[in-house]
Amino acid sequence: MSIAIVKYNAGNVRSVIHALNRLGVEPEWTDDPERLRRAARVIFPGVGEAGSAMSYLRARGLDEVLSDLSQPVLGICLGLQLLCERTEEASTRCLGIFPHEVVRFPSEGKVPHIGWNQISSLEGPLFRGVAEDDYVYFVHAYYAEAGPDQIALTEYLRPFASALHRDNFFAVQFHPEKSGAVGERILKNFLAL
């Protein structure tokens, strides 16, 4: 099975590649539109700033490519946020796959949200074999507000959507590649879709 990881100016790619290697998968890291279209699965990871990431995607036409993909796509962290309608970060219009707004955590708490936290209200095939209130690893200052496409919920200063699903698009705010056995199960589930 061919797995493509979207290449753009956002970090965290190496840990995703290593996590897939542990599952016996050798992904391709690419920004080539045809290779992304041909891949059986596409992973859209990211750690970075939304405005510059979207500028990079638009300059290379990858915004249109990503929006038109029909195979299973998994957004991770910034990837989830960029799949939403818009983000407060640099007042950025994003890809609009999910009709969710991305907002910054309030300043009265410790921001960014870093560390292990629970996921609950789990729905769908991405969480097959994952227990309610299992722990996963987060690093983020912005979050998608709860809404119609949420398939997991997390509480940090307020409830937020820690996973989303619409059609062939899945996204998680946490880092499955850094979330031990639970994250490995989620990645396996994605590959098995």
Question: What does the alpha-carbon distance between residue 90 and residue 128 come to, in Å, rounded to a whole number?
Answer: 36
The residue from 84, 94, 100, 177 that is catalytic is 177
Looking up residue 74, the CATH number of its domain turns out to be 3.40.50.880
Per-residue pLDDT, 9: 81
pLDDT tens figures, 88-108: 999 999 999 999 999 999 988
Which one, of 3, 102, 6, 2, lies nearest residue 61 by Cα? 6
Question: What does the alpha-carbon distance between residue 51 and residue 184 come to, in Å, rounded to a whole number?
Answer: 30
Per-residue pLDDT, 152: 98
Sign of CA dihedral 181, 182, 187, 188: positive
Per-residue pLDDT, 11: 73
Judge if pTM exceeds 0.95.
Answer: yes
Domain residues for the domain of 45 are: 3-191
pLDDT tens figures, 49-93: 999 999 999 999 999 999 999 999 999 999 999 999 999 999 999
Query: Residue 12: pLDDT above 80?
Result: no
Per-residue pLDDT, 109: 83
State the total domains in the chain: 1
The residue from 77, 84, 140, 165 that is catalytic is 77
Instruction: Please say if 175 is a catalytic residue.
Output: yes
Per-residue pLDDT, 95: 98
